Amino acid sequence: MRYRSLPDGDRIPVIGLGTWRMGGGSEPDPSQDKQVLDALHTALELGYTHIDTAEMYGGGHTEELIGQVIRDSDRKTLFITSKVWHTNLHYRDVLHACENSLRRLGTDYLDLYMIHWPDAAVPLEDTFRGLNELVSAGLVRHLGVSNFELDQLIEARQLSTTPLVTDQVPYSLLDRTCAENGLLAYCQEKSMVLTAYSPVSKGKVNELEKLTTIARQIGATPTQVALSWLINQANVIAIPKSLNPEHLRQNLEALDLLLGEDELAILNQLAEGGKGEAAQ
């Protein structure tokens, strides 16, 4: 496993496992339980150590499923991330939400706890009062945010009493918003990690002809090339999601994929105009 350094000297795996829709959308879906549990066990056996989830996923059921799996593992080797939903951002709601996530996950602490989405109706000062308290109590090791724009991220950094470690946003060959609006550059400047979710745009990157050509030439899959392009950028990590054992293995193998200057030049050009090519 490769790692990125965090502002406080700790580290986070470069590739983690996203779990959105594992166990349901916003409501529990127990019909998936066996498939999800098998995938989670397989991921840990393959070497995944970072699992990203949220209280909203499956109405909390996703956390319960993850809890079943991490109980069979050495907790100290894992990096478990969860997120507080935008309806729970007031001070006491934050504390209560974290307690519920810890209970469902069956763990004494979270390695990373994030605001899932900002809510303009709730002052960030109120939210970070709760988040900072959770860190002081030892229930959370690191704080981050998700889906924050640059001005919101700057405010959040000022309110966090410990170094804010990440902003989790969409980032892929087909979605370069965070690179275009200055968010990526800001994270790199401040030694923060940018966590890319939807790093292959739900498989849509496979429709890019130049990407598939590069993949074929170097003996990789298009998804592996797309992930490699991301994680070889400074301060970027990715959390692809899959229930397919072979895809889980391939995603992790992207860590070892080295892209040459020619391939990177083509991919960078593709990223700038990727949406146009995919639409053709």
| Catalytic residue numbers, as ranges | 57
Closest listed residue to residue 221, CA positions, set 237, 235, 240, 197: 240
How far apart, in Å, do the first and last CA atoms of the chain sit?
Answer: 37
Burial (CB < 10 A; 0-12, 13-18, 19+), residue 189, is exposed
Closest listed residue to residue 236, CA positions, set 188, 273, 164: 188
Q: Which stretch of DSSP H or E encloses residue 144?
A: strand 140-146
Fill in the amino acid letter for 265: A
**Backbone angles phi and psi of 59, in degrees to 5:** 55, 35
In degrees, rounded to 5, the angle at the alpha carbon of residue 228 between the alpha carbons of residues 84 and 79 is 35
CB 175 within 8 A of CB 199: no
Closest listed residue to residue 6, CA positions, set 143, 131, 108: 143
DSSP tag of 219: T
